[in-house]
Amino acid sequence: MQRLFGTFGVRGISNVELTPKLAFELGLALATHLRGRGEVAVGRDNRTSSEMLENAVTAGLTSGGCNAVLVGLVPTPVLSFAIKRFRCVAGVMITASHNPPQYNGVKFWGSDGAGMNREQEVKIEKIISKKAWKRAPWHGIGRVSRSDAIMPYMDAVLGKVPRVGRKLKVVVDCANAAGSVVTPRLLTELGCQVISMNCQLDGTFPGRFPEPSPQNLTELMKTVVACKADFGVAHDGDADRTLIVDERGQLLTGDRVFALAALHHLRNKKRPKVVTTVATSMVLGDVAEKLGGKVVRLGVGEPVVVEYIRRYGGDIGGEENGGVIYPDWLLCRDGIMTAVEIVKLLDSSGMKVSDLDATLPKYFQFKQKVECPEKSKSKVAAAVAKQFKGYRIDRIGGLRVITEDGWLLLRASGTEPIFRCFAEAKSEERAKELAKLGMHAIKKAGG
Ligand code: MG
């Protein structure tokens, strides 16, 4: 059976790999899985292919007997919100998040507003590979309706979070993508002075690439300083992730954004549980300790974090890439809520972003990778592990070597033909040393 779903749903080049035919089959297979009943929320980003794919998915869903509730152009967290608000049995989001403009993706969501897990995806893959879908009879074909989810989403946030008292100037960079329809307006309504940048919708992404990497955010860093703003917000293409630029134009890593958001979000929680992955900075452990709680570390990827929270609970979840989940709000990463949490943190503390960041311990990280074909990955992983006998190791999500002053994570990528090496330590020199040790071990293992 062909595996269609990757870590973030079905992804591919629009109209080449991800065709209207495939999108139709995905919609029909989802409807079959749902036994042709219930309302399914459908959202999309502003890529050039998104409306075409929305039409195809909708045709599939209704052909299979489900009703489609089109919420139109929305960030991913708004789709998650809409599923719950409109009591849908499932959701479909059409987006390729941070990928370049020629890509697109289809991702399925459950009735709880969380991404579908692998088990459910396998069931849908089976329906497609066996062409085991069921079309509804003429009188059972689903209906299509349109609903606005953006205003209800904004009202819900504004109902939860009071307006800020402090005058804050914020530069918001949405990469000309889906975040543009919510974040600038929401932060303005919260009482911030917003300077929008790359917030005109354009599916060719002329302003910058939708991945919020340091090289794609140089203009934002300059603009924050030039405008004397308090901070800058950068979303990825579907605004489920956020990175922050401080008032000096320095970009904070995703782990530190997560740590600051946690500081504010969990301020009144007793013994909070912070759920994250083995690839996130030690700073999350420091924050959990500061709040009198604990940190749980899991294998890499949003689905792993969401599944844990679903089963065992957790007060906040997140990753090193700036994706944060607020389980008392949505079971989906919400970059818009992260921007709101940072605004509230600045408002309540009266501090600057750089000063807040300086209250957390400083760590140094090195991230490297080596090409490694799929078939060699397990052999390399075993040979790497042999070289760390006698060290304190953890096998969750790869090989994590824990030392007195840092850690080293060696793992095969789940989506690309590469082997990764992450190192973190309290000094730059030590982090470099650990990374070197890791890279040496991978190369010696034949990677
Ligand atoms: Mg995203």
| Cα 407 to the center of its chain, rounded Å | 24
Q: In which residue ranges of the chain is CATH 3.40.120.10 found?
A: 10-151, 166-358
Taking alpha carbons only, the member of 440, 407, 411 closest to residue 424 is: 407
Catalytic residue among 50, 97, 180, 281: 97
What digits encode the pLDDT tens for the residues 372-403?
A: 998 999 999 999 999 998 999 999 989 999 99
Look at domain 364-444 and name its CATH class.
alpha beta
For residue 137, report the distance from its CA to the centre of ligand 1, in Å. Answer: 37
Q: How many angstroms separate the Cα of 97 from the Cα of each of 5, 215, 378?
A: 15, 17, 29
Residues around ion ligand 1, judged by CB within 5 A, are 97, 236, 238, 240
This prediction's pTM:
0.95
Cα-to-centroid distance, 35 and ligand 1 (Å): 29
- Model confidence over 131-160: pLDDT tens digits? 999 999 999 999 999 999 999 999 999 999
Ramachandran bin of 250, using left for φ above 0, alpha for ψ from -120 to 50, beta for the remaining angles: beta
What is the arithmetic mean of pLDDT over 357-381? 93
Banded model confidence at residue 447, pLDDT cuts 50, 70, 90: confident
Query: From ligand 1's centre to the CA of 416, what distance in Å?
Result: 18
CA 14 to ligand 1 center in whole angstroms: 17
Q: What is the mean pLDDT of residues 346-354?
A: 97
Q: How far is the CA of 241 from the centre of ligand 1 (A)?
A: 6
The answer to whether residue 2 scores a pLDDT higher than 80 is no
Q: What is the pLDDT confidence band of residue 415, given thresholds at 50, 70 and 90?
A: confident
pLDDT of residue 425: 97
Domain with CATH 3.30.310.50 in the chain: 364-444
CATH number of 10-151: 3.40.120.10
* 365 confidence band (pLDDT: 50, 70, 90): very high
Over the chain, what HEC string results? CCCCCECCEEEEEECCCECHHHHHHHHHHHHHHCCCCCEEEEEECCCCCHHHHHHHHHHHHHHCCCEEEEEEECCHHHHHHHHHHCCCCEEEEECCCCCCCCEEEEEEEECCCCECCHHHHHHHHHHHHCCCCCCCCHHHCCCEEECCCHHHHHHHHHHHCCCCCCCCEEEEECCCCHHHHCHHHHHHHCCCEEEEECCCCCCCCCCCCCCCCHHHCHHHHHHHHHCCCCEEEEECCCCCEEEEECCCCCECCHHHHHHHHHHHHCCCCCCCEEEEECCCCCHHHHHHHHCCCEEEEECCCHHHHHHHHHHHCCCEEECCCCEEECCCCCCCECHHHHHHHHHHHHHHHCCCHHHHHHCCCCCEEEEEEEECCHHHHHHHHHHHHHCCCCCEEECCCCEEEEECCEEEEEEECCCCCEEEEEEEECCHHHHHHHHHHHHHHHHHCCC
The region of weakest confidence among 14-18, 86-90, 411-415, 438-442 is 411-415
How many angstroms does the Cα of residue 369 sit away from the middle of ligand 1?
Answer: 22
- By C-alpha distance, which of 397, 255, 377, 383 is closest to 321? 255
Q: What is the mean pLDDT of the chain?
A: 96
pLDDT in tens, 241-267: 999 999 999 999 999 999 999 999 999
Q: What is the CATH number of domain 166-358?
A: 3.40.120.10
The question of whether 180 is a catalytic residue gets the answer no
What separation in Å is there between the alpha carbon of 350 and the centre of ligand 1? 30
pLDDT at 7 over 80: no
